[in-house]
């Protein structure tokens, strides 16, 4: 497949041909950075792990330059960090038994330019080759600018596909801001009760990010555990680990639906819920 980014790559952990690896994909994660996928799309990864019927693929949109660094990586240049981060992502893809991982390798500034069609074209080409049933990407209330740009490019790319070729489900997943605030009726629940050891490993292999002073490995598992317990106040924990998602499917079923208005409506429902509860007991 011809991708637009410099040094773009599609890597297949089990050595299948690129065409076969893309064709077997059922669940596709599209993220801005190396390690985002493992933090936010664990449901899709677990669907593919150990399965011969369902396969997960990761798409990393940026080149990973400019991340904070410390310790072993303190003196690494941006160029060297990109090499390290790509290798870490390949380690995760191998451990998680992904069908493939695509490195689109665009700069963050390019992603954030909505008028630049190249990232959208690349995402569209991968969607056409994989035809996934489920897509996981960032959610529209994330507070990282590059994450928002990636979800908007993803929605735009899906909207360029004929209706019959679009994924059945598109989920916005949590990283910078979790999604506990969504009212329960709007929450997509991802139960992550199996392979806890693999989940820990998949975030842990991104040593350059963790050694940079951020314990993503501990924080990601802690968030899942906290969600499992704090999800329902009046019943015992049905799961030991949960992630929450924002169901973005309406945005790929109705091309006229504005993403900004869509997320503001979800925030309004949260606002109404808080308001009604306080009013009830005032
Ligand atoms: Zn990120």
pLDDT mean by block of 10 residues, the chain; 282 residues: 94 98 98 97 98 97 83 85 93 98 95 94 98 98 97 98 97 97 97 96 93 90 97 83 98 98 98 98 95
CA distance 142 to 215: 19
Question: 36 CA to middle of ligand 1, Å?
Answer: 5
Question: 37 CA to middle of ligand 1, Å?
Answer: 9
The DSSP symbol for 130 reads H
Question: 276 CA to middle of ligand 1, Å?
Answer: 35
pLDDT of residue 148: 98
pLDDT of residue 281: 96
Question: 42 CA to middle of ligand 1, Å?
Answer: 15
pLDDT of residue 66: 74
Question: 217 CA to middle of ligand 1, Å?
Answer: 14
CA distance 262 to 248: 9
- The helix/strand/coil state of 246 is strand
pLDDT of residue 238: 82
Question: 31 CA to middle of ligand 1, Å?
Answer: 7
Question: 203 CA to middle of ligand 1, Å?
Answer: 13
- The helix/strand/coil state of 279 is helix
- The helix/strand/coil state of 68 is coil
The whole-model pTM stands at 0.96
């Amino acid at each position: 497949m011809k991708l637009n980014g410099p040094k773009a790559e599609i890597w297949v952990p089990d050595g299948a041909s690129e065409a076969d690896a893309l064709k077997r994909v059922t669940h596709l994660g599209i993220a801005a950075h190396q390690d985002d996928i493992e933090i936010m799309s664990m449901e899709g990864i677990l669907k593919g792990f150990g399965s011969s019927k369902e396969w997960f693929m990761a798409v990393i949109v940026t080149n990973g330059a400019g991340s904070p660094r410390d310790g072993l990586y303190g003196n690494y240049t941006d160029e060297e960090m990109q090499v390290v981060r790509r290798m870490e992502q390949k380690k995760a893809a191998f451990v998680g038994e992904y069908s493939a991982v695509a490195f689109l390798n665009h700069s963050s500034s390019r992603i954030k330019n909505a008028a630049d069609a190249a990232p959208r074209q690349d995402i569209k080409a991968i969607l056409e080759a994989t035809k996934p049933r489920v897509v996981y990407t960032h959610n529209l209330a994330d507070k990282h600018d590059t994450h928002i740009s990636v979800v908007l490019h993803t929605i735009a790319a899906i909207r360029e596909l004929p209706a019959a070729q679009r994924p059945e489900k598109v989920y916005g997943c949590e990283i910078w801001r979790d999604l506990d605030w969504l009212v329960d009726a709007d929450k997509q629940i991802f139960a992550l009760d199996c392979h806890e050891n693999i989940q820990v490993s998949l975030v842990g292999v991104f040593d350059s990010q963790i050694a940079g002073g951020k314990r993503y490995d501990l924080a990601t598992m802690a968030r899942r555990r906290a969600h499992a317990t704090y999800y329902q106040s009046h019943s015992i924990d049905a799961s030991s680990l949960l992630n929450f998602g924002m169901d973005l499917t309406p945005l790929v079923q109705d091309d006229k639906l504005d993403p900004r208005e869509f997320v503001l409506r979800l925030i309004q429902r949260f606002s109404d819920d808080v308001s009604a509860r306080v009013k009830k007991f005032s």
